[in-house]
């Protein structure tokens, strides 16, 4: 999840980034190059210790404090429900103290937790970042219900691709005017020239850059006999 405050032209804004385990540092929008904290009072919250270590390292380098909420994994067993309830109310308390102008939540677990937390903490605006298709929710009534409730409590939705935006529209209950597409950004170093890899083979070489999720279509790479 991420919570952000909009910067005021005169006094600066308050920002709380509640980062829900993303492996990619891009969602936070905070880095030594882009994380100009002069006009922001910024905090980052993470669900548990060790979450999104590369992301948190970049954020810390930008001088942004990080708050560990202490959410529990399923491996915690019987302690998970009470532990996660306590972590949720820690988030609510942190939001009340930080008083962000805008709460920006990333990924499913982030935005379904942020929605009620923002309502209880009195955060004026909630924005949810959707960064994948909703295939994982289909056929799972509980996830669909949580998503629907969180979406109704959310002021605006940000998709990182047009396909994600269209997926939200197909699911229904969301108007196009409630969605903005903001594509992923990469640092300048990602576009530096690199020497080609040396592969000793006469066979075709296929490179696939994608998460190891079934709907990414990795199975279609196995068409050779």
Please name the residues in contact with 41: beta carbons below 8 A apart, sequence gap of 6 or more.
5, 12, 13, 14, 15, 98
pTM higher than 0.75 for the full model? no
Question: Which element (helix H / strand E) includes 60?
Answer: helix 53-61
The dihedral built from the CA positions of residue 144, 141, 146 and 74, taken in this order, carries a sign that is: negative
Q: In a structure prediction context, what are the per-residue pLDDT tens digits for the chain, which is 225 residues long?
A: 444 433 333 334 454 555 444 334 343 444 334 444 444 455 666 665 555 566 677 777 777 777 778 888 788 888 888 988 998 999 999 899 888 888 888 888 889 999 999 999 999 999 998 988 888 888 899 999 999 999 999 999 999 999 999 999 988 778 999 999 999 888 788 888 888 888 888 888 888 888 887 778 888 887 655
Question: Which element (helix H / strand E) includes 62?
Answer: none
Q: How far is CA 104 from the centre of its chain?
A: 8
Question: Which element (helix H / strand E) includes 126?
Answer: strand 125-130
Q: How far is CA 186 from the centre of its chain?
A: 16
**Rounded to whole angstroms, how far apart are CA atoms 20 and 26?**
13
Q: Where are the domains of the chain?
A: 13-193
The helices-and-strands tally (H runs, E runs) of the chain is 5, 7
13-193 CATH, one of 1.10.533.10, 1.20.1250.20, 3.40.50.2000, 3.30.450.70: 3.40.50.2000
**Rounded to whole angstroms, how far apart are CA atoms 124 and 126?**
7
Strand partners, 16: 43
Question: Which element (helix H / strand E) includes 136?
Answer: none
**Rounded to whole angstroms, how far apart are CA atoms 150 and 26?**
23
Burial of 137 (0-12, 13-18, 19+ CB in 10 A): middle
Measured distance between the N- and C-terminal CA atoms of the chain, rounded to whole angstroms: 44
């Amino acid at each position: 999840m991420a919570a952000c405050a909009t910067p005021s032209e005169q006094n600066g804004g308050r920002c709380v980034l509640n980062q829900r385990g993303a492996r990619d540092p891009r969602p936070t929008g905070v880095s030594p190059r882009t994380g100009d904290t002069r006009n922001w009072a910024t905090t980052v919250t993470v669900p548990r210790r060790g979450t999104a270590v590369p992301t948190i390292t970049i954020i810390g380098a930008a001088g942004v404090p990080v708050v560990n909420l202490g959410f529990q994994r399923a491996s915690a067993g019987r302690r998970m429900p009470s532990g996660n309830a306590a972590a949720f109310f820690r988030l609510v308390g942190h939001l009340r103290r930080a008083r962000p102008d805008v709460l920006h939540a990333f990924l499913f677990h982030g935005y379904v937790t942020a929605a009620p937390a923002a309502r209880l903490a009195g955060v004026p605006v909630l924005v949810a970042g959707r960064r994948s298709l909703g295939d994982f929710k289909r056929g799972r009534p509980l996830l669909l219900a949580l998503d629907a409730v969180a979406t109704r409590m959310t002021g605006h939705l940000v998709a990182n691709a047009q396909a994600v935006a269209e997926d939200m529209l197909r699911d229904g209950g969301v108007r196009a005017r409630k969605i903005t597409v903001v594509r992923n950004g990469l640092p300048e170093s990602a576009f530096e020239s690199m020497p080609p890899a040396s592969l000793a083979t006469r066979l075709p070489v296929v490179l696939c850059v994608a998460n190891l999720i079934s709907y990414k279509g990795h199975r279609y790479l196995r068409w050779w006999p």
